[in-house]
Structure 1
Amino acid sequence: MNSKTKLLTFITVILAVSSLTVSTVVAKAKLTNQSKLFINGIGTVKVGMTVTQAAKAAGTKLVGDPPNNNCYYVKPQNEPKNLSFMVTQGRISRVDIRQNTQITTLKGAKIGDTEAQIKSLYPGQIEVTPHKYVQEGHYLTFIPKDRTDRNYRVVFETDGKLVTQLRAGKLPEVEYVEGCS
């Protein structure tokens, strides 16, 4: 094998490895039912991103009704289902999860958990308030200790016993009971 052939073989190997690495990174970046919800986003989608940035980070198109005001929702075109993003002033402000038991918080909290489980996962950081529409229900609001996260929350809605839905994002939007209404 001459030096020119060796060089071409080397370049081919480098390109193949680079392509594999890029594909792996893109595959890992895709928003899935295994993505983790955290105080200011889910998976690679962060509060503060534009819809275009969020779609790129999610690895999927985000669809919704055309915006007709400063607050609207978009959701992944395919998966994960029952996940939506509130958009205010052109940026993602909160993540809503409904009827999806696969997505969890970083600590493992999910729809279907008991109120006691949520309180035990976040000792001393859960504020309990009455639910506006569910008679026995509550809002269990995770209040972060870290000053850098002071403008974010995770809100677990319950029927009085079990978590029925959850949301995470920035204040004040994360505390809007009726979404954009």
Structure 2
Amino acid sequence: MGVRTWIDSWPVYRQLKGTDPLGRGAAAKSARSARLTPRTASADRVVKSVCPYCAVGCGQNVYVEGGRVTQIEGDPDSPVSRGRLCPKGSASLQLTTGDAREHYVLHRRPYGTEWQRLDLDRAMDMIADRVIEARRAGWQWEVDRARTRRTLGFASLGGATLDNEENYLIKKLFTALGAIQIENQARI
């Protein structure tokens, strides 16, 4: 590499002599960074979503390639976040593809001291059985001779990341099951 070639490749020289005097574009690029392509360039489609971490509801663009999530970024069209994400939202790709993601449920039996792994289907069956039993054991047809048709055997406490549609469905489900203690953490 000659001296002239070396000087021409020097970012400060390119910044002063080129069309990028503030050093925000071409002057700041190295040859290697000029060859790089964005992680989102190979995506088949972009799916609009909402960040799952808090009640703010920042918009996200989820980039999907071959049926697999490859990148998650802030949605510039979102009136809430205008394309910005906090550190938690920026790391939400790990929810779908991270090595630490669990694909099973940990369960500790009553009075047990050890956790055991259960597959999701088994865990869902256990939850359904317990809801049915709690409903059966705590069902009240009437209270003080007033018809109630309810149960105090279980309750629902929703999280702050649930959107309106999810809250609506949860309210409908628990009301149909006879529960009257239905609340959302976002209002507490």
TM-score under structure 1 length normalisation: 0.26
Q: Which has the higher contact order (CA 8 A, sep 6+)?
A: 1
Higher-Rg structure is 2
Richer in strand (by share) = 1
TM-score normalised according to structure 2 size: 0.25
